[in-house]
Amino acid sequence: MDLLPSTDQEQILDTLRTFLADQAPVGRLRDHGAIGNPDARLWPELGALGFIGLGLPEDQGGIGLTTAEEALVYREFGRHLISPAVLGLTLGARIVANAGDATLREDFLSGAARVGIANPRGAVTLGARCSGDFHLFDADTAAWVLVIGQEGAGLFRREDFAAIVSVPATDAVITLERARLDDVAPRLWMSDGDDPLHARALLLLAAYAVGLAEGTRDMAVDYAKVREQFGKPIGSFQAIKHICATMAVRAEAAHCQACFASLVLADHGADSDFHATAAKIVATDSALKNSAETIQVLGAFGFTSEANAHHYLKRAHLIDLLWGDLRSQRARLLQMPTPA
């Protein structure tokens, strides 16, 4: 038993961190509004480095690592506020690989494909025929759209959706559209019995939220060390210090549970759904609270668009609402059997 990354895993993370620090500093979000998904330019290189097919078996064109490595990668994606459309590639690649389409699989794994993600706006019907109202994220230039639920997951072409209307997004660096499926068959469908894609999705969202919780913790701590009032750094006052400490506790809880869940999932454990759901609950709760408190620690500056705190807050809300918010995840978790 060991929850610390191995030397190999550390090397993978070093590569990714270097790439993201160079290509995706959080400051990039100040330079654009909702003008499409500029992070899509990162996909080919992430594909070439193997990050999209990291957890997919080698005989399906992937790198052959596990959910544990995927979770570590998504934690970094969260820290850098990478477009959540990347989930469309990671999870979509599993659907494509499962369908046995080698050409399309290569398209996804190489990062060439443009994939948006869909989130239900209310009750929807999923399966052989799909219906309902959805939000589409970063799907304006996408050929494909990922739809996911507890029943399974499917890929649609963008043109399969009706009544696509662009709407201003709360998380304004994301393009957001309303769209509808009217009794449409997915182009590809994978039921949850074939692969626990729903649990995988919750886990990756949890890992992403860990990155949000840690990124905001660090932002608040760094600011508290240098911002001076009453002649000393505000981090020396317990009122601020204890907020930062509480943020650290939350981030640690979220990170540890995400690690634990990723390993249970990698082992195909019976409690995969329980731990992935618990991870999403703890991590989104942490991300929402930490980003809110970071704005408070940064004071008036935290309220401006220049501070990046608001990007983290809005992304935390997006991650919470994606594929089941805290309220619905808690209701699901309560109904699950007692884990081992």
Partner 1 sequence: MDLEFTAEDRQFRAQARDWLHDNVPAGHRPHGGEEMRAFDRAWQRLQFDAGWAGVSWPKDYGGMGLGLTRQLIWYEEYARALAPDNHLCFVGLNHAGPTIIARGDEAQKQAYLRDILSGDTIWCQGFSEPNAGSDLAALKTRAHVDGDHLVVTGSKIWTSHGHLSDLQELLVRTDPDAPKHKGISWVIFDMNTPGLELRPIEIMTAPNHTHFVQCFYDEARVPLANVVGGLNNGWNVAMATLGFERGTAQIKDQIRYAFLVEQMIERARARFGNAHLAHDEIGSRLAQLRADMAAARAMTYMVVSRAQAGIHGSEASLMRAMVGDVQQRVRRLALDIIGPDALENPEDDDWVYFYLRSYSTTIAAGTTQIQRNIIGERVLGLPR
List of residues contacting partner 1 (CB under 8 A): 1-6, 9, 68, 221, 224-225, 232-233, 235-236, 238, 241-242, 244-246, 248-249, 252-254, 256-257, 259-260, 262-264, 267, 274-275, 277-279, 281-282, 285, 327, 329-331, 333-335, 338-339
In this structure, are residues 233 and 160 in contact, taking their beta carbons and an 8 Å threshold? no
Angle between helices 272-298 and 326-335 (to 10 degrees): 150
Of 37 and 294, the one with the shorter C-beta distance to partner 1 is 294
Of 37 and 329, the one with the shorter C-beta distance to partner 1 is 329
Least distance in angstroms from the C-beta of 200 to partner 1 = 17
Least distance in angstroms from the C-beta of 274 to partner 1 = 8
**CA nearest neighbour of 138 among 104, 110, 113:** 113
Structure tokens at 38: 């500029």
Partner residues linked to 59 by β-bridges: none
Of 90 and 272, the one with the shorter C-beta distance to partner 1 is 272
Least distance in angstroms from the C-beta of 25 to partner 1 = 23
Phi, psi at residue 182, to the nearest 5°? Answer: -110, 85
CA pair distance 133, 163, nearest whole angstrom? 10
CA atoms in the 13 A half-sphere facing the CB of 138: 24
Least distance in angstroms from the C-beta of 47 to partner 1 = 24
Least distance in angstroms from the C-beta of 222 to partner 1 = 10
Q: Give the amino acid at 222.
A: D
Of 70 and 107, the one with the shorter C-beta distance to partner 1 is 70
H-helix or E-strand containing 119?
Answer: strand 115-120
Q: Is 332 exposed, middle or buried (0-12, 13-18, 19+ CB in 10 A)?
A: middle
Of 177 and 285, the one with the shorter C-beta distance to partner 1 is 285
Write the secondary structure of 25-77 as one string of H (helix), E (strand) and C (coil).
CHHHHHHCCCCCCHHHHHHHHHHHCCCCCCCCCHHHCCCCCCHHHHHHHHHHH
Of 76 and 138, the one with the shorter C-beta distance to partner 1 is 76
Of 138 and 320, the one with the shorter C-beta distance to partner 1 is 320
Least distance in angstroms from the C-beta of 313 to partner 1 = 21
Q: What is the spatial order of strands in the sheet that 152-157 belongs to?
A: 162-167, 176-184, 130-137, 115-120, 144-149, 152-157, 188-191
Of 112 and 270, the one with the shorter C-beta distance to partner 1 is 270
CA pair distance 18, 10, nearest whole angstrom? 12
Least distance in angstroms from the C-beta of 214 to partner 1 = 12
Structure tokens at 337: 């059997």
Least distance in angstroms from the C-beta of 4 to partner 1 = 5
Q: Give the amino acid at 253.
A: A
Of 257 and 291, the one with the shorter C-beta distance to partner 1 is 257
Least distance in angstroms from the C-beta of 255 to partner 1 = 8
